[in-house]
A = this chain, B = another copy of it.
Amino acid sequence: MPANDRSRRITIDDVARSAGVSRQTVSRAVNDKPEIDPATRQRVLLVAQSMGYRPSRFARGMVGPGLTTLGLVIADVLNPFFPEVVSGVLAAADERGWQVAVYSTGSALERETAVAETVVNHVDACIAFLLDPGAIELIRRSGMPFVLLDNEHRPPAVSGGRIDFAGGMRQVVGHLVERGHRRIVMLDDRGRPDAGDRGTRHSLFLGAAAELGLPADESWVFPAANSLDGGAAAMDDVLDTGFGATAVLGYNDLIAIGAMRRARDRGVRVPEDCAFVGCDGLTLSRLVDPPLTTLTVDKELLGRAAVRQVAAQMTGAGTGETVIEPRLVVRASS
């Protein structure tokens, strides 16, 4: 028994010929169809196995309806925000008998177009965290069911899942003001484009602060790379510039935690000298010291809702929007 000839794959006809039966009989054996003699099935199966026969999923997909593959584009699995979304998507897709292909852009804007091109050619529907308008347009134009998540600049023609950070930021700032804070810094994710636009956490934070009578302006916002280290570095900036913040709001928990750790390392007492608040509500935020106050988002629900919207589009429904309401969970860091 030589190794497989790598030039051409083994087909059902090869097996049929080798077993001295017809294609159809091989098909019956492989697919557990009833109209076949048990002895024949056994023999055919043995031949198939020994030849290393594996049915082509493409040929199968041609005749039957084939399996629906849902593409899920995320920035980075290592960012603890995404596993929860993935979990929701996997569960909801599984309920519908779909397969999920995961793509990661590695948080690199320039990779988004390449990923979008792959997605367009190889999946039946798509749920994506994307920022590059070109990449988004590419998928939109393909005409496949498409849900875009967590993008404040979503074109009106595509469905989306949005988190109501307007309400969320009011909760956060309200809480801090109530605790007596008057000088609040936000560590923004500098990786996101057009950060000054309406609808971003950035602008919603400033808006909420203004609403509550704080003299907030752009100087209250510090850019940070989206990681623990990014948060730490941004905290250095805040402390070094002598801004005098009594509270720090992170674009997300990762940034907030990184900042909080750096602050403590530099002798800042939390929350006495400075309070810290995050966004997203990662499991992680409960476990750090001190436990982090955070604007919790049900990320699993976000994933499930996205699948539901994709499914709706498949049955011909139009585009829509799902809004998730965040909830402020107050812990020891504020």
Q: Using CB atoms and an 8 Å cutoff, list the residues of chain A in contact with chain B.
A: 3-4, 6, 49, 52-62, 66-67, 69, 76-78, 80, 82-84, 86-87, 90-91, 94, 99-104, 118, 121-124, 141-144, 228, 257, 261, 283-284, 287-289, 315-316
Q: Which B residue sits closest to A86, measured CB to CB?
A: B77
Q: How far is the CA of A84 from the CA of B79 in the complex (A)?
A: 10
Q: Please, which residues of chain B bring their CB within 8 A of the CB of A6?
A: 315-316
Pair A62/B54 contact, Cβ less than 8 Å:
no
Additional 20 contacts, C-beta under 8 A, given A57-B61, A82-B83, A100-B102: A54-B143, A56-B62, A57-B58, A57-B121, A58-B60, A58-B61, A59-B62, A62-B62, A69-B101, A77-B90, A78-B84, A86-B102, A90-B104, A99-B103, A100-B103, A101-B102, A261-B287, A287-B287, A288-B288, A289-B289
B80 touches A257 (CB 8 A): no
Q: How far is the CB of A51 from chain B (nearest CB, A)?
A: 9
Nearest Cβ on chain B to A308's Cβ, whole angstroms: 18
Expressed in whole angstroms, the minimum distance between the Cβ of A260 and any Cβ of chain B is 10
Q: A84 contacts which chain B residues (CB < 8 A)?
A: 77-78
Q: How far is the CB of A86 from chain B (nearest CB, A)?
A: 5
Q: Cβ of A102: which chain B residues have Cβ within 8 Å of it?
A: 86, 90, 100-102
- Measured CA separation A88–B138 after assembly (Å): 27
**Interface majority SS on A: helix, strand, loop or mixed?**
mixed
- The distance in angstroms between the C-alpha atoms of A100 and B57, with both chains bound, is 15
B-side contacts of A53, CB under 8 Å? 143
- Asked whether A316 lies within 8 Å of B3 as measured between CB atoms, the reply is yes
A3 to B87, CA, bound (A): 32
- Can you list 15 A-B contacts (CB < 8 A)? A3-B316, A6-B315, A54-B144, A57-B121, A57-B123, A61-B61, A78-B83, A80-B80, A83-B83, A99-B103, A100-B101, A100-B102, A101-B101, A284-B287, A289-B289
